[in-house]
Amino acid sequence: MLDFEFMSPTQFVFGRGVEEKVGDKLAERGAKKVLLHFGGQSAVRSGLIDRVCASLDAAGVECVKLGGVRPNPEIELVREGVALCKKEGVDWVLAVGGGSVIDSAKAIANGACIEEDVWELFTTKRPNANVLPIAVVLTIPAAGSEASKNTVISNDALGMKTGYGNEHQRPKLAFMNPELTFTLPPYQTAAGITDMFCHLLERFFDDVDAVPVTDNLNLSLMRTVRAEAPRVLADPEDYEARANIMWAGMLCHQGLAGVGRHEDWATHGLEHELSAFDTSITHGAGLACLFPAWMEHVHAENPARLAYYGREVFGLAPTGDVCADALSAADETRQFFASLGMPTTLTELGIGEDEIDKAIEKMIPTLKKNKGEVFGSFKKLTMEDAEEIYRSAV
């Protein structure tokens, strides 16, 4: 087990109707004026924004609204939020939505407390301890951003999508009501499940030997997500299944499932370039195409690790050929994603044989800027490796 530091300052308020406690909980922590940050109109039409605003009003907490967060959140709206926070004297940022909204809120909370443009944090990765406190009302279990130290933002003008990690931007409060996820479209539900499963894969596969306490937690979460996924898709209003998925999504990316390991994150890096190239691509869908392709590309580096995963998560019986078992584990992963309704090739996402050259020409230079000449830990990947993985996923 490697040395590590770990913190989890988030207070979780979990269950039915918890969004109506937002005002009281924020007031208890001294909030006076919040930036209420959200995405499109679904949270408005459902009445959720009104319920949250009523809770804030009843507790005497003022709010300033900023909606419009898109999937793959963009830096220009972040800048607008930063300016609004500074102008209005906001002292908390409250995100109502999924990972995109929370990531945008984190970037705003950083930018509101610094003099330079917030994008500088994403390019320099410099530490920043001065961050507005963040609260979350979660509506889409997927990214795990409600308790993680990470945020990912796109810059359309530069054609880049990159992340920023900062312990000080972990949300202080997370309100998690599984009922708020009942109306999620099946595709969005499946993409979220895929994303959280891939958060575990990124942590399970690296260059560190076994870390039993971490590995067993990780494997247990994988088995849980795999078991609950078909229940949620079969009955979107199954509260217990939704609750298990929502809580698992947080645990998948809070960091606990990777302590003592290096973690890999190569596939997430590859996907960030994909959804920066085409911002209509849902992150989970991109991962569904790329992760099995990555597994097949790197399996010979440590086939026993992939075979172990295949046995523990999918119940695959050993064949005596560990490389074949490793490839079977990759194929089972692909079939799992397909069973959720996810695409398994880039062609299904509109990037086929005729488009892949153009895509690679655009993605590789920004991948190099974001990740360096080599990246990953399970196997050190070069830009040539990255190109091969992209092509094999078509």
Contact indicator for 182, 139 with CB cutoff of 8 Å: no
Taking the complete model, does pTM exceed 0.85, yes or no? Answer: yes
For residue 50, the model assigns a pLDDT of 95
| Torsion sign across C-alpha atoms 20, 176, 237, 97 | positive
Longest CA pairwise span in the chain (Å): 66
| 345, burial (CB in 10 Å: exposed 0-12, middle 13-18, buried 19+) | middle
In the chain, what are the domain boundaries? Answer: 11-180, 186-392
Share of the chain residues as helix, strand and coil, in percent rounded to the nearest 5: 55, 10, 35
- The b/e string for 267-290 (b: 16+ C-beta within 10 A; e otherwise) is bbbbbbbbbbbbeebbbbbbbbbb
pLDDT digits (tens, 9 = 90+) for 216-240: 999 999 999 999 999 999 999 999 9
For residue 4, the model assigns a pLDDT of 81
Cβ partners under 8 Å of residue 207, min gap 6 = 262, 377, 378
The mean pLDDT of 288-313, rounded to a whole number, is 98
The rounded Cα 199 to chain-centroid distance in angstroms is 7
Contact indicator for 19, 177 with CB cutoff of 8 Å: yes
| Torsion sign across C-alpha atoms 63, 64, 68, 74 | negative
Taking the CA atoms of residue 325, residue 320, residue 203 and residue 393 in that order, the dihedral angle to the nearest 10 degrees is: -20
230 phi/psi in degrees, rounded to 5: -65, -30
The mean pLDDT of 328-345, rounded to a whole number, is 98
Residue 190 in this model has a pLDDT that exceeds 90? yes
Query: Mapping DSSP to helix (H, G, I), strand (E, B) and coil, where does residue 179 land?
Result: helix
> At 159, is the pLDDT very low, low, confident or very high (cuts 50, 70, 90)?
confident
The token duo for 212 is 């039993």
pLDDT digits (tens, 9 = 90+) for 53-70: 999 999 999 999 999 999
pLDDT above 90 coverage of the chain, percent = 94
For residue 14, the model assigns a pLDDT of 97
For residue 200, the model assigns a pLDDT of 98
Contact indicator for 226, 272 with CB cutoff of 8 Å: no
pLDDT digits (tens, 9 = 90+) for 94-148: 999 999 999 999 999 999 999 999 999 999 999 999 999 999 999 999 999 999 9
The mean pLDDT of 318-323, rounded to a whole number, is 98
Residue 40 in this model has a pLDDT that exceeds 90? no
Return the beta strands (E) in 53-113 as ranges.
62-66, 92-97
The mean pLDDT of 324-334, rounded to a whole number, is 98
Question: What architecture does CATH give domain 186-392?
Answer: Up-down Bundle (1.20)
Residue with tokens 């920023």: 164
Mean pLDDT across the chain, nearest whole number? Answer: 96
Alpha-carbon distances, residue 57 vs 20, 45, 88, 265 (angstroms) = 11, 19, 17, 42
Structure-model confidence comparison of residues 42 and 119, the more confident one: 119
Residue 2 in this model has a pLDDT that exceeds 90? no
The token duo for 111 is 């930018």
CATH top class, domain 11-180: alpha beta
- Write the DSSP string, 263-290: ---HHHHHHHHHHHHSTTS-HHHHHHHH
The mean pLDDT of 140-166, rounded to a whole number, is 93
Residue 7 in this model has a pLDDT that exceeds 90? no
The token duo for 381 is 């990947």
The rounded Cα 338 to chain-centroid distance in angstroms is 20
Residue 5 in this model has a pLDDT that exceeds 90? no
Residue 21 in this model has a pLDDT that exceeds 90? yes
For residues 389 and 378, give the distance between their C-alpha atoms in angstroms, rounded to a whole number: 15
Structure-model confidence comparison of residues 304 and 4, the more confident one: 304
**Count of beta carbons in the 10 Å neighbourhood of residue 33:** 15
pLDDT digits (tens, 9 = 90+) for 374-387: 999 999 999 999 99
The H or E element that residue 165 is part of is strand 160-165
The token duo for 106 is 């984190």
Indicate the range of 1-10, 80-89, 196-205 predicted with least confidence: 1-10
